[in-house]
Amino acid sequence: MISSKKKRVVQHSSFLARYSIFIRKLLSARRVAMKHITLTIAVLLASYLGIPRTSRAQTSYPMLMSLTPVAAQVGQTSEHTIKSRYTMLGAYDVLVNGEGVTGEIVHPEVKEGEKPNLQTMNVRFTVAPDAQGGVRDFRIGTPNGVSTLGQLVIARDAVAKEDGDNNTRDKANAITLPATVCGAIERAEDVDYFKFTVEAGQALNFHVRSQRLQDRIHDLQQHVDPILSLRDANGTTLAASDNYFYADPFMDYKFERAGEYFLEIRDVRYQGNQYWEYAIEINDRPFVTNVHPMAIGRGQQTKFEFVGYRLADQRAAFVSIPLDKPSGPQWWELPMGAAVTNPAPVVVSDLPVFTERQSENNTPETAQQVALPVGITGRVDSDSDIDCYSFAAMKGEQFSFEVLARRQQSALDSHLRILDVNGKQLALNDDMRLGKRGFADSWVENWTGPADGIYVIEVRDLHLRGGSDFVYFIKATRSLPYFELYIDTDKTQLTAGTSGVMFVRTVRKNGFDGEIQLGISGLPNGVEASCGRILAGKGQDGCIVLTAKADAAMAISNVQITGTAKHPMDGGELLLEASAKPYQETYQPGGGRGHWPAEMHTVSVGQPSDIVGVTLSEYDVKLKPGESKEIDIKIERAEGFEKNVTLDVTYNHLNSVYGSSLPQGVTLDKPKSKTLLTGKTAEGKITLTATKDAPTVAKQQVSVMANVSLNFVMKATYASKPLLVTVEAVAAE
Ligand SMILES: [Ca+2]
Ligand SMILES: [Ca+2]
Ligand SMILES: [Ca+2]
Ligand SMILES: [Ca+2]
């Protein structure tokens, strides 16, 4: 049935580039530490505060749009230009994720009495000689709050910048190799040419990062689709690459003849945008795309076979894991001879690892036997290859099977089935969903053994493709109860003396339905937290209310948000814990609010802004089922701030609710509330109503928000101190 060879389809189509989501940039092995560079801000602040403040209207935090050049070289300090929407004036701090990269603001000269709308500003990055290559997130702290995310490429070779009009071969920018070529496809029909010379027989690889740098830019609705071409002195195309890593090109080329050659990069549609930056890493070193097996068990030594280009006789590395390495997917520079490779995707497994054996395992009859729980590493070696593994399960035993492949740069679009020994399908998954995003990897959760017996895990490519880079890791585990946590945004903006609120959403798994207590650590000085809970059963969101003291200094800091819960099990209790994953908000065409996973959630204390206080007539409201209660709300507007303010108890955009910690059955009664405060109006009210069947609950934490629109999608949110909502048991009649 599956012996006929199917045509190999393009591995990395542009469609997949945009829609089948991949988060390799998240997965830096050195994600733990966060460099926090506090600058000498006193001088700056003094000058900032000396400037008379004019109109106060919807002052937004900066939204970073681009970084020029977008790459920095290891072992160097270099100056880069950030472009933003909304002013970066007074910026005082840079946060860069991972280890070995720090940043500092290069302050522009500002004339006394002037307050420029600073949407172009320089920052200086310093990269340690041993900093790992790849992509880093960064953000800046300003008096208006912390910015959205920007991205920086860390590269091994010197950075060469696009220079002037280089739209034809005649005007090509000369570069010396190896190099990290940085530029922008800055306008429609922009074509960038670079020229270089090679010796006969020299081979080079060309790795473009551009489209992949745009996923997390908040306000960049149109994304680049770059194409790279290599031409000889006559203009003849020798090689071209459009989409290798999603929409980004990669190619490896051996030059038979010595001479001058030309590299051309443009958007495949001839579109352009001033923010479409690119970095092209060009060198003659080996380039590793994958290793096989892709996972290593903790405490084990593994021989990683390299998969990639220009590997020559450097085919493998013996690796064991230092004990301090975290578990899970990550990127490592692996030993290769006397040097190290480019960062390659690996998985550290806490499960015992089984590696697919050479013998044929295409059918349930030839399945290779494993004992669950286990981590299986294998490879769909060739077109039509199918891999089967058999395991024993008792009636009623529950297992989950998660494939990790495309999320870790494998070419595999996995298709996973659980079969009985006769090949009858019992479960199937092609593409999985995690939080708010879909992935090409597969996940069968909570599969239940129908009877004592032998069953089969079958994995293949969706299109029956295969090859050396079609590696995978399958986590086959018992389906224990647990929960995931997601934070709706990646930043919480506070001003001295006010409160802010963050919403944490859970996805409950495998029968867990208990209450989750939220916690937070890493807050800036002068900020206090009141951590709420996610209610048991149908509860989906909980909130954390942060309050900055009136004398809190400006600061930004990355926080960790966790949830803890108990689950009854076997007469005892299972203690559960999870860390919350933040999402960066993105502005989608048409005004939608998109989300992209990010590594840092940053809390910021900024300067006092449009609203300086939100106070309630009551902070501890008790409702009987069927009852309504009115709460008066007073906002304190900054002098001169007369824009519209809307009040709410849930976090909404258009018709979607992104966060609501209200207890089940309790709603905001809109007609009986006054939530739109226009002009100088400072007083409103909300009415909370409990349905007749609202379940009893004690002191659930919610917050009243005062929202000021920044643009169609974004708003500045000021929160009240926690409001506790109780639904009482019905009084006996
Ligand atoms: Ca250009
Ligand atoms: Ca492309
Ligand atoms: Ca295989
Ligand atoms: Ca799939």
Taking the C-alpha atoms of residue 359 and residue 651, their distance in angstroms, rounded to an integer, is 55
Choose the final residue of a domain: 450, 479, 508.
Answer: 479
8 Å CB contact between 522 and 503:
no
Mean pLDDT of 536-558: 96
* 532 shares its domain with 606: yes
**How far is the centre of ligand 2, averaged over its atoms, from the C-alpha of 96 (Å)?**
28
| Mean pLDDT lowest among 54-68, 444-458, 599-613 | 54-68
Phi, psi of 423 (to 5 degrees): 90, 5
Whether 145 is in a domain gets the answer yes
Looking at residue 18, its pLDDT comes to: 31
- Report the alpha-carbon angle 236-238-241, nearest 5: 120
Regarding beta strands 150-155 and 71-73, do their DSSP bridges make them parallel or antiparallel, or are they unpaired?
parallel
Residue 676 has pLDDT above 70, yes or no: yes
- Cα-based distances in Å from 711 to 60, 117, 125, 220, 534: 9, 17, 31, 14, 30
- Report the alpha-carbon angle 247-309-259, nearest 5: 90
Q: Which helix (H) or strand (E) holds 49?
A: helix 42-50
Q: Say which ligand is closest to the CA of 210.
A: 2
Q: Say which ligand is closest to the CA of 265.
A: 1
Whether 3 is in a domain gets the answer no
Mean pLDDT of 221-241: 96
Which residue carries 């390299």 as its tokens?
Answer: 306
Looking at residue 7, its pLDDT comes to: 33
Helix (H, G, I), strand (E, B) or coil at 357: coil
Q: Which helix (H) or strand (E) holds 46?
A: helix 42-50
Q: Which residues pair with 386 in a beta bridge?
A: none
8 Å CB contact between 81 and 103:
no
Helix (H, G, I), strand (E, B) or coil at 4: coil
Mean pLDDT of 514-524: 98
Task: Report the percent of the chain where pLDDT is more than 90.
Answer: 80
Whether 388 is in a domain gets the answer yes
Who has greater pLDDT, 591 or 172? 172
Taking the C-alpha atoms of residue 412 and residue 290, their distance in angstroms, rounded to an integer, is 12
Question: Other C-beta atoms within 10 Å of 529: how many?
Answer: 18
* 267 shares its domain with 164: yes
* 300 shares its domain with 278: no
Q: Say which ligand is closest to the CA of 173.
A: 1
* 113 shares its domain with 182: no
> How many distinct structural domains can be found in the chain?
4
Q: Which protein residues have a CB closer than 5 Å to ligand 4 (ion)?
A: 413-414, 430-431, 440
Whether 53 is in a domain gets the answer yes
Range of the domain at 497: 483-727
**How far is the centre of ligand 2, averaged over its atoms, from the C-alpha of 248 (Å)?**
5
Whether 308 is in a domain gets the answer yes
Q: Which protein residues have a CB closer than 5 Å to ligand 2 (ion)?
A: 225-226, 242-243, 247
Q: Which helix (H) or strand (E) holds 376?
A: strand 374-379
Helix (H, G, I), strand (E, B) or coil at 366: helix
**How far is the centre of ligand 2, averaged over its atoms, from the C-alpha of 345 (Å)?**
22
Taking the C-alpha atoms of residue 673 and residue 666, their distance in angstroms, rounded to an integer, is 14
pTM as predicted: 0.88
pLDDT in tens, 116-170: 899 999 999 999 999 999 999 999 999 999 999 999 999 999 999 999 999 999 9
Looking at residue 653, its pLDDT comes to: 85
Whether 222 is in a domain gets the answer yes
For 305, residues 6+ apart whose C-beta sits below 8 A from its C-beta are 291, 292, 293, 315, 316
Choose the final residue of a domain: 283, 309, 327.
Answer: 283
Whether 733 is in a domain gets the answer no
And the tokens for 306?
Answer: 């390299």
Q: Say which ligand is closest to the CA of 21.
A: 4
| Mean pLDDT lowest among 38-47, 407-416, 628-637 | 38-47
24 pLDDT band, cuts 50/70/90, is: very low
Mean pLDDT of 219-237: 95
8 Å CB contact between 621 and 685:
no
CATH number at residue 325: 2.60.120.380
Q: Which protein residues have a CB closer than 5 Å to ligand 1 (ion)?
A: 183, 190, 192
Q: Which amino acid is at 134?
A: G
And the tokens for 329?
Answer: 């997917």
Q: Say which ligand is closest to the CA of 411.
A: 4
- Give every strand in the sheet of 666-668, ordered side by side: 611-616, 628-637, 683-690, 666-668
Mean pLDDT of 34-41: 32
95 pLDDT band, cuts 50/70/90, is: very high
Q: Which residues pair with 137 in a beta bridge?
A: 151
Residue 490 has pLDDT above 90, yes or no: yes
Q: Say which ligand is closest to the CA of 191.
A: 1
Mean pLDDT of 575-603: 90
* 398 shares its domain with 498: no
Looking at residue 326, its pLDDT comes to: 86
* 448 shares its domain with 471: yes
**How far is the centre of ligand 1, averaged over its atoms, from the C-alpha of 264 (Å)?**
10
Q: What number of residues does the chain have?
A: 733
And the tokens for 425?
Answer: 């399908």
Q: Say which ligand is closest to the CA of 188.
A: 1
Taking the C-alpha atoms of residue 245 and residue 287, their distance in angstroms, rounded to an integer, is 13
Mean pLDDT for the chain?
Answer: 90
**How far is the centre of ligand 3, averaged over its atoms, from the C-alpha of 93 (Å)?**
50
8 Å CB contact between 651 and 719:
no
For 361, residues 6+ apart whose C-beta sits below 8 A from its C-beta are 367, 368, 386, 387, 388, 389
**How far is the centre of ligand 2, averaged over its atoms, from the C-alpha of 222 (Å)?**
14
Taking the C-alpha atoms of residue 501 and residue 702, their distance in angstroms, rounded to an integer, is 9
Taking the C-alpha atoms of residue 332 and residue 30, their distance in angstroms, rounded to an integer, is 9
Taking the C-alpha atoms of residue 638 and residue 615, their distance in angstroms, rounded to an integer, is 15
Looking at residue 13, its pLDDT comes to: 33
* 576 shares its domain with 714: yes
Looking at residue 324, its pLDDT comes to: 75
**How far is the centre of ligand 4, averaged over its atoms, from the C-alpha of 30 (Å)?**
28
Q: Say which ligand is closest to the CA of 358.
A: 3
| Mean pLDDT lowest among 87-96, 316-325, 506-515, 638-647 | 316-325
Looking at residue 570, its pLDDT comes to: 84
* 177 shares its domain with 147: no
Residue 572 has pLDDT above 70, yes or no: yes
Give exposure, 195-208, as e/b (b: 16+ Cβ within 10 Å): bbebeeeeebbbbb
Chain-centroid distance of CA 142 in Å reads 22
Q: Say which ligand is closest to the CA of 167.
A: 1
* Rg of the chain taking only CA atoms, in angstroms: 28
8 Å CB contact between 8 and 465:
yes
And the tokens for 527?
Answer: 């900020």
**How far is the centre of ligand 4, averaged over its atoms, from the C-alpha of 463 (Å)?**
9
Whether 391 is in a domain gets the answer yes
731 pLDDT band, cuts 50/70/90, is: low
Residue 367 has pLDDT above 70, yes or no: yes
- Report the alpha-carbon angle 116-119-125, nearest 5: 115
* 689 shares its domain with 550: yes
Q: Say which ligand is closest to the CA of 417.
A: 4
Residue 713 has pLDDT above 90, yes or no: no
Looking at residue 58, its pLDDT comes to: 54
* 418 shares its domain with 324: yes
Phi, psi of 684 (to 5 degrees): -140, -175
Looking at residue 31, its pLDDT comes to: 32
Looking at residue 710, its pLDDT comes to: 80
**How far is the centre of ligand 4, averaged over its atoms, from the C-alpha of 617 (Å)?**
53
Choose the final residue of a domain: 264, 283, 302.
Answer: 283
**How far is the centre of ligand 2, averaged over its atoms, from the C-alpha of 265 (Å)?**
10
Residue 313 has pLDDT above 90, yes or no: no
Looking at residue 39, its pLDDT comes to: 31
Looking at residue 516, its pLDDT comes to: 98
**How far is the centre of ligand 2, averaged over its atoms, from the C-alpha of 204 (Å)?**
19
* 144 shares its domain with 175: no
For 690, residues 6+ apart whose C-beta sits below 8 A from its C-beta are 623, 624, 625, 626, 627, 628, 665, 666, 727
* 149 shares its domain with 222: no
